[in-house]
């Protein structure tokens, strides 16, 4: 896996990232940090990536289990260290899984498999952060 990151110039802190799969992502900082607030912060993209990684796993596990999943949403809250480096210290994933006849134990198992076995992003963040999760199932 590879990517490139290029600073967009002296008028701020906007960076353009090109991924190895050919996609573009921009990140920026807040005005008090020299940025122009034109894109997500780097740590926001890191947290979003972990959420997407885990949600991807959960959807895939439920689909492979032949469950009738229709939607998977994720709310993530976090806390960071007070001093540099301001790593994540606590992260909570709240899954909202929608479908038909989804059982608690099956959804819980899918989340646990993601967080304990499959999701590389969660595994890395688990080195500095206490990671917890909750979920609710919405019948559709």
Regarding whether 23 and 53 lie in a shared domain, the answer is no
- Domain range for 15: 4-33
Identify whether residues 49 and 105 lie together within a single domain: yes
- Residue 3: the pLDDT is 97
* Three-state DSSP class for residue 14: coil
CATH code of 115's domain: 3.30.300.20
Task: List b or e across 44-82, with b for residues whose CB sees 16 or more CB atoms inside 10 angstroms.
Answer: eebbeebbebbbebbbebbeeeebebeebebebebebee
Same-domain status, 46 and 113? yes
pLDDT, residue 9, reads 86
Provide the residue-wise pLDDT of the chain in tens; the chain has 140 residues.
Answer: 999 999 998 889 999 999 999 999 999 999 999 999 999 999 999 999 999 999 999 999 999 999 999 999 999 999 999 999 999 999 999 999 999 999 999 999 999 999 999 999 999 999 999 999 999 999 99
Same domain membership, residue 67 and residue 21: no
Burial class (CB in 10 A: 0-12, 13-18, 19+), 8: middle
The count of domains in the chain is 2
**Claim to verify: residue 25 and residue 75 sit in the same structural domain:** no
Q: Give yes or no: residues 25 and 70 share one domain.
A: no
Q: Which of 24, 47, 38 is nearest to 93 (CA)?
A: 47
Regarding whether 47 and 71 lie in a shared domain, the answer is yes
Query: In terms of Cα–Cα distance, which of 114, 56, 102, 47 is closest to 75?
Result: 47
Stated pTM of the model: 0.94
């Amino acid at each position: 896996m590879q990517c490139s990151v290029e600073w967009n110039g002296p008028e701020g802190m906007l960076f353009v990232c090109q991924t190895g799969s050919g996609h573009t992502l921009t990140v920026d900082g807040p005005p008090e940090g020299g940025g122009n607030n034109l894109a997500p912060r780097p740590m926001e993209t890191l947290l979003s990536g972990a959420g997407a990684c885990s949600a991807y796993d959960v959807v895939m596990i439920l689909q492979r289990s032949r469950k009738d999943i229709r939607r998977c949403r994720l709310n993530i809250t976090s806390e960071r260290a007070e001093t540099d480096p301001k790593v994540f210290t606590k992260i909570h994933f709240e899954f909202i899984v929608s479908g038909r006849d989804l059982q608690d134990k099956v959804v819980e198992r899918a989340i646990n498999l993601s967080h304990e076995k499959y999701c590389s992003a969660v595994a890395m963040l688990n080195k500095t952060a206490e990671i917890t999760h909750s979920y609710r199932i919405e019948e559709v």
